[in-house]
């Protein structure tokens, strides 16, 4: 029997924190609870979790700072819990560091389903071979990395799933709706802006000139494709 999945749950609302932690333990997870950002980072460094559930608004160290510190250590998936409902906050959180975003108040069964879906997505088959896209870009999607010239670039889980979706089409276009359905299928209120923001970040990471992309190409009728170059551009 495999060991239970390790979760780190962070929220400064002590009753809610204990309620979530107790229910997740009853559902078979190995849960560490933290009521502050500092406590979360100490717990993280002591025993790395496989997934983090993180409140966005905390007094000493807010959730964004905690998430950034976690991502600086390892590419571990994060689900955001927050009372902030503005779409800009969701877009920013999800595209920068989160796998998913749940607005408070929420139903525990919804949280459990999101946790299970994120973990399932992480276990989905990602091509293990390197994909040479062009003379200065190689994708190593199973490792969530890319080689851009002589630089190694880290990819987030969402960026990786978007690239996997594009790569599977072999230079054929993929519509924005298809990308939303594949990459953000379980996110509340996902809209085309999510795709645009993530694509912009990927171009900044992978393209020599993000404003004139060679590989992550926009389609005139909407959508995107991964352009595989057979030879160096002249």
Residue 210: inside a domain, yes or no?
A: yes
Residue 232: inside a domain, yes or no?
A: no
153-169 burial: b if 16+ Cβ within 10 Å, else e: bebbbbbbbbbbbbbee
List, for residues 154-167, the tens digit of each pLDDT value.
888 788 889 988 98
CB 17 within 8 A of CB 33: yes
Which of 123, 148, 181 is the last residue in one of the domains?
A: 123
119 and 137 belong to one structural domain: no
* pLDDT of amino acid 171: 77
170 and 98 belong to one structural domain: no
Residue 233: inside a domain, yes or no?
A: no
Which of 68, 92, 123 is the last residue in one of the domains?
A: 123
CATH number at residue 215: 1.10.10.10
Band of the pLDDT at 127, cuts 50, 70, 90? low
Instruction: Compare 129 and 216 and report the one with higher pLDDT.
Output: 216
Query: The whole model's pTM is what?
Result: 0.60
101 and 155 belong to one structural domain: no
107 and 188 belong to one structural domain: no
Q: How many whole angstroms separate alpha carbon 28 and alpha carbon 112?
A: 11
Count of structural domains within the chain: 2
Residue 171: inside a domain, yes or no?
A: yes
197 and 117 belong to one structural domain: no
CATH number at residue 49: 3.40.50.2300
Percent of the residues in the chain that have a pLDDT greater than 90, as a whole number:
40
Tokens of 96: 């920068």
47 and 94 belong to one structural domain: yes
Tokens of 41: 């980072």
Residue 105: inside a domain, yes or no?
A: yes
pLDDT, mean of residues 165-174 = 85
Residue 53: inside a domain, yes or no?
A: yes
Tokens of 135: 């003379």
109 and 141 belong to one structural domain: no
Which phi and psi angles does 146 have, rounded to 5°? Answer: -135, 150
List, for residues 84-107, the tens digit of each pLDDT value.
766 666 566 666 777 888 888 899
191 and 160 belong to one structural domain: yes
Residue 231: inside a domain, yes or no?
A: no
158 and 110 belong to one structural domain: no
Q: Which domain holds residue 210?
A: 131-226
First to last CA, the chain: 56
Q: How many whole angstroms separate alpha carbon 80 and alpha carbon 114?
A: 11
119 and 138 belong to one structural domain: no
**Of 135, 131, 127, the residue nearest 146 (C-alpha):** 131
């Amino acid at each position: 029997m495999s060991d239970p999945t390790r979760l780190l749950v962070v929220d400064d609302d002590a009753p809610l924190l204990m309620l979530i932690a107790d229910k997740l333990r009853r559902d078979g997870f190995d849960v560490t609870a933290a009521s502050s950002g500092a406590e979360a980072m100490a717990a993280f460094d002591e025993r790395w979790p496989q997934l983090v559930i993180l409140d966005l608004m905390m007094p000493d160290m807010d959730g964004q700072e905690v998430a950034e510190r976690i991502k600086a250590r390892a590419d571990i998936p994060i689900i955001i819990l927050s009372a902030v409902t503005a779409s800009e906050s969701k877009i920013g959180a999800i595209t920068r560091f989160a796998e998913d975003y749940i607005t408070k108040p929420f139903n525990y069964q919804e949280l459990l389903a999101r946790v299970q879906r994120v973990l399932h997505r992480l276990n989905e088959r990602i091509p293990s071979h390197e994909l040479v896209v062009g003379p200065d870009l190689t994708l190593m999607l199973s490792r969530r990395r890319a080689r851009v010239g002589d630089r190694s670039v880290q990819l987030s889980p969402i960026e990786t799933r978007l690239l996997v979706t594009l790569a599977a089409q072999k230079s054929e276009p993929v519509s924005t709706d298809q990308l939303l359905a594949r990459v953000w299928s379980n996110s509340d209120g996902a809209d085309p802006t999510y795709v645009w923001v993530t694509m912009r970040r990927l171009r900044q990471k992978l393209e020599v000139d993000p404003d004139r992309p060679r590989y992550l190409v926009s389609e005139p009728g909407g959508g995107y494709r991964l352009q595989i170059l057979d030879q160096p551009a002249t």
